[in-house]
Amino acid sequence: VQLQASGGGLVQAGDSLRLSCTASRRSLRYYGMGWFRQAPGKERDFVAAITWSGGDAVYADSVKDRFTISRDNAKNTVYLQMNRLRPEDTAVYYCAASTRGGSIVGLPTASIGFNSWGQGTLVTVSS
């Protein structure tokens, strides 16, 4: 599945931003979806993931209570709402799709569990 991430930009600390991830040619309805991020010089880290139905989600501790992952299967889109952004949130954000994720038990949180990746969108948070 081909994924397209968008919504990144330059914001100030404390601001909000919403990222979107869409797919062409294939429905995302039966994919667990995730967001990862990679800061300059660092490894790609897990941010959040959501089950097929959108009923369950899991978050990295660093973003819990600030970020919210959601999906609209009718629009074939997954979102990452990011609030109270911090300079340390600066990174390229990637969305990813997994054939797993029908339930929270099978939802992957490691990059190896995801089969398809978008191209990334840059989020820069200034202090």
Sign of CA dihedral 72, 73, 74, 75: positive
* pLDDT level of residue 24 (50, 70, 90 thresholds): confident
* pLDDT level of residue 52 (50, 70, 90 thresholds): very high
* pLDDT level of residue 8 (50, 70, 90 thresholds): very high
CA-based R_g, the chain, Å: 13
Other CB atoms within 10 A of residue 126 CB? 11
3-state DSSP helix/strand/coil percent for the chain, to nearest 5?
5, 50, 45
Q: How many CA atoms lie within 13 A of 121 on its CB side?
A: 20
Tell me the per-residue pLDDT of 57-92, one tens digit each, with 9 for 90 and over.
999 999 999 999 999 999 999 999 999 999 999 999
* pLDDT above 90: percentage of residues in the chain: 92
Tokens 């062409």 -> residue:
24
DSSP H or E stretch at residue 45 = strand 44-50
Q: Strand, helix or coil at 70?
A: strand
Residue 6 per-residue DSSP state: E
Measured distance between the N- and C-terminal CA atoms of the chain, rounded to whole angstroms: 36
The overall average pLDDT reported for the chain is 96
Tell me the per-residue pLDDT of 87-119, one tens digit each, with 9 for 90 and over.
999 999 999 999 998 888 999 999 999 999 999
pLDDT over threshold 90, residue 17: yes
pLDDT over threshold 90, residue 25: no
* pLDDT level of residue 30 (50, 70, 90 thresholds): very high
Q: How many CA atoms lie within 13 A of 35 on its CB side?
A: 34
